[in-house]
Structures are given as structure tokens and as C-alpha cells.
């Protein structure tokens, strides 16, 4: 009898010790960040304060995040992919790199801004624009570009910058826009001509705005909200215009990586970034995307899709065909 009581007491003590260790375990979360770092930091700080979960992050361009997740397939080094155009997320899902999760807060996100099987959920949207240096345009006697054909004028030769679609989600959204607007073969003929005008293909989608703002380039193709950010930061020679034939747009997304080492923490983070008040944090640190949560208030400076000539952009098709289109771009445009 005494032996039985002793064993029960010992087991109880062991269970209490295990529970105590579990309760005292320091909760952590590692994420890959594909949006502006200042925006990510604001969200991460609020999440840490609310949950007590310590967050570590690595900031990369969208294509770089995809390549890293692919390389880490057997042993993921992160649990969440936070930000960047959904086409790359769709490519990742196609390769089995993401984990489905239906957040309770996804009900506030309209159907067109989320994956039906829960592999990614939109957190913001933003349009592709032409971003020009006003002083350079005036010096060359040019009006603001309002057509894709305008960028092929002789004065633009060597003065255009756009992000590399292999590494930049912005760059691939531009490529996907042209293919869906013009048809694939016509789009690649156009891109070959545009290549003769381009002076650089930065790996990051936002860098072209800095080049234009500082006068290193006359015009860029990039997201309109990034251009607004640079203007607000002091690059007042920046001017934003849109192609009259039509433009595309991104759905910036969040997803859980398959095999996430911190799964429960990852789910909490996805829940967090879909909330109205969290999606409104971006504008507090100078970011001007449109939130996807239908109850969130967009920045006053944001360009709304309904005010633009936006094409019926098929994000699913663009994501599923990403690898093929990138190979064609390298072969036919870069001639490699």
C-alpha cells in the first residue's frame, strides 16, 4: 500500500514538473518577411507585446524567400511567410511547400483575396504603376507616360528600371500583367523591346523608386504604394501614372510553411495579421497598401483598384505558370 502511494506521489510530481516546464517554455517564432521591414517590425512588436511570443525574422525579396523555403524543404528554418505577391505563394503551394490553415479571422477577407484551400491569405493589395522623375521628363520634353508604348520612345533608352522578376515579386507581377494584357507571345516581343530601354533590374521591387527619386533613372515600373512611400520620405521629383491599356495588381499574402517548427505560434501570427487594427498599422509607419480586411480603413494616400483600369488579373494562373514564364524571360529577354 505504501509502495503504491509512493508511486502515485512520484508520478504526480513528475507530471507537475513536466507541466511546469511546458508552461515556462519560452515561446518563439521565426518568420520570413517579404514586405517593408518597418511595416513588419511594427506588426511584430504588437504581436510580441500581446502574446509574449519572441519573434525572429529574416527580410528578403519574395523570390529569395521562395528559393530558401524550397531549399529548406526537409527541415524548414522558418514557420511563416509574411508579405509579398501571392503568385509566388501559389507557386510554392504547387510545389508542396505550404501548409493549409483556415484562420478564424479569414472571414473578414473577401474570397478573391485568399486561397480557397487555405494555403495563403491576402493581407493587402497594390497596383502596378509607372513612376517617373519629373525633372528628367521636363529636361527631355516628355509628358508623363500613360501607355506601355510610351516606355519604348527613344528618350527612354537606358533610363528605365524595373525589378528582376526572378527575385522580386513586384517584377513577376509586372511580367504576369503584360502576359495577361497583351497575350504571351506579344508580351515577350514587347519585353524584348523594353529590355533595350532598361538600365537595371534590381533584385528588390522597391529599389527602382529610389533610383527614380534620386535621378539615377528617368522612369520605373513598380508598385504605386512603394512610390508614395518614397515621395513621403522626401523624393518629391517622383510622379505616379498608370497605363491606359490596363495594369495589374498584387495580393500581398501570409502563409504557414509546411513542416513549420513552431506551428501553434504560426497560427496565432496569421490570426493576428488578418485583424482590422493590425492591417491598419502599415500606414502608421508610412506604408500605403490597401488592407484586405473589409473593416480596415485604407491610407488616405492609397491608390484604389476601383479607380484604375485594372485588368482581370488571374493570380492563380500567374502563380502556376511562374517557373515557365521566368525561364522564357531569361531565354528570350536576357538572351541567356
Domain ranges of the chain: 8-124+251-299, 126-249+321-332
Q: What is the pLDDT of residue 290?
A: 98
Q: What is the pLDDT of residue 26?
A: 84
Instruction: Give the C-alpha separation, 88 to 120, whole Å.
Output: 11
Task: Encode pLDDT of 120-159 as tens digits.
Answer: 999 999 999 999 999 999 999 999 999 999 999 999 999 9
**Which residue did the predictor score with more confidence, 315 or 15?**
315
Q: Where are the beta strands (DSSP E) in the chain?
A: 28-33, 54-59, 80-85, 98-99, 121-133, 160-161, 198-200, 219-223, 238-241, 249-257, 290-291
Confirm if 92 and 68 have CB atoms less than 8 A apart. no
Q: What kind of architecture, by CATH, is found in domain 126-249+321-332?
A: 3-Layer(aba) Sandwich (3.40)
pLDDT band at 14 (very low <50, low <70, confident <90, very high): very low
Q: What is the pLDDT of residue 135?
A: 97
Q: Where are the beta strands (DSSP E) in 117-197?
A: 121-133, 160-161
Question: Would you put residue 96 in left (φ > 0), alpha (ψ -120 to 50) or beta?
Answer: left
Nine-digit cell string for 159: 533610363
**Is 8-124+251-299's fold the same as 126-249+321-332's?**
yes
pLDDT band at 336 (very low <50, low <70, confident <90, very high): confident
Task: Encode pLDDT of 196-246 as tens digits.
Answer: 999 999 999 999 999 999 999 999 999 999 999 999 999 999 999 999 999
Q: Which residues contact 234 (CB under 8 A, 6 or more apart)?
A: none
Task: Encode pLDDT of 46-79 as tens digits.
Answer: 999 999 999 999 999 999 999 999 999 999 999 9
pLDDT at 91 over 80: yes
Please provide the average confidence, as pLDDT, over all residues in the chain. Answer: 93
Q: What is the arithmetic mean of pLDDT over 91-112?
A: 98
- Give the rounded percent of residues in the chain with a pLDDT score beyond 70: 93
- Give the rounded percent of residues in the chain with a pLDDT score beyond 90: 92
Q: What is the pLDDT of residue 25?
A: 60
Instruction: Give the C-alpha separation, 140 to 56, whole Å.
Output: 47
Q: What is the pLDDT of residue 264?
A: 98
pLDDT band at 167 (very low <50, low <70, confident <90, very high): very high
Q: Which residues contact 192 (CB under 8 A, 6 or more apart)?
A: 332, 333
pLDDT at 5 over 50: no
List % helix, strand, coil for the chain (3-state, nearest 5): 50, 20, 35
Strand pairing report for 219-223 and 238-241: unpaired
From residue 284, how far is each of 247, 259, 274 by CA, in Å? 27, 34, 17
Instruction: Give the C-alpha separation, 89 to 163, whole Å.
Output: 18
pLDDT at 43 over 90: yes
Instruction: Give the C-alpha separation, 87 to 98, whole Å.
Output: 13
The position carrying cell 503551394 is: 93
The CATH number of the domain covering residues in 8-124+251-299? 3.40.190.10
* CA-closest candidate to residue 83, choices 27, 44, 45, 46: 44
pLDDT at 11 over 50: no
Amino acid at each position: 500500500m505504501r509502495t503504491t502511494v509512493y508511486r502515485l506521489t512520484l508520478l504526480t510530481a513528475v507530471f507537475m514538473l513536466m507541466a511546469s516546464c511546458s508552461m515556462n517554455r519560452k515561446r518563439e517564432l521565426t518568420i520570413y518577411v517579404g514586405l517593408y521591414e518597418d511595416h513588419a517590425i511594427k506588426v511584430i512588436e504588437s504581436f510580441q507585446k500581446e502574446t509574449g511570443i519572441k519573434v525572429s525574422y529574416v527580410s528578403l525579396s519574395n523570390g529569395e524567400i521562395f528559393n530558401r523555403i524550397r531549399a529548406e524543404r526537409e527541415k524548414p528554418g522558418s514557420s511563416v511567410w509574411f508579405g509579398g505577391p501571392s503568385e509566388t505563394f501559389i507557386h510554392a503551394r504547387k510545389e508542396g511547400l505550404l501548409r493549409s490553415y483556415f484562420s478564424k479571422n479569414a472571414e473578414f477577407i473577401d474570397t478573391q483575396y485568399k486561397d480557397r484551400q487555405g494555403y495563403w491569405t491576402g493581407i493587402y493589395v497594390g497596383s502596378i504603376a509607372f513612376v517617373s522623375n519629373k525633372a528628367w521628363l521636363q529636361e527631355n520634353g516628355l509628358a508623363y507616360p500613360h501607355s506601355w508604348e510610351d516606355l519604348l520612345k527613344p528618350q527612354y533608352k537606358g533610363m528605365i528600371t524595373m525589378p528582376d522578376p526572378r527575385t522580386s515579386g513586384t517584377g513577376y507581377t509586372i511580367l504576369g500583367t503584360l502576359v495577361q494584357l497583351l497575350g504571351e507571345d506579344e508580351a515577350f516581343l514587347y519585353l524584348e523591346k523594353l529590355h533595350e530601354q532598361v538600365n537595371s533590374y534590381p533584385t528588390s521591387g522597391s529599389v527602382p523608386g529610389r533610383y527614380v527619386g534620386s535621378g539615377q533613372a528617368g522612369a520605373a515600373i513598380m508598385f504605386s504604394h512603394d512610390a508614395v512611400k518614397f515621395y513621403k520620405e522626401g523624393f518629391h521629383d517622383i510622379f505616379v501614372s498608370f497605363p491606359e491599356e490596363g495594369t495589374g495588381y498584387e495580393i500581398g499574402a501570409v502563409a504557414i510553411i509546411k513542416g513549420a517548427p513552431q506551428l501553434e505560434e504560426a497560427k496565432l501570427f496569421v490570426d493576428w495579421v488578418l485583424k482590422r487594427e493590425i492591417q491598419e498599422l502599415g500606414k502608421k509607419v508610412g506604408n500605403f497598401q490597401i488592407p484586405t480586411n473589409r473593416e480596415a480603413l485604407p491610407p488616405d494616400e492609397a491608390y484604389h483598384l476601383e479607380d484604375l483600369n485594372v485588368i482581370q488579373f488571374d493570380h492563380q494562373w500567374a502563380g502556376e505558370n511562374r517557373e515557365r514564364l521566368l525561364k522564357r524571360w531569361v531565354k528570350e529577354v536576357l538572351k541567356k
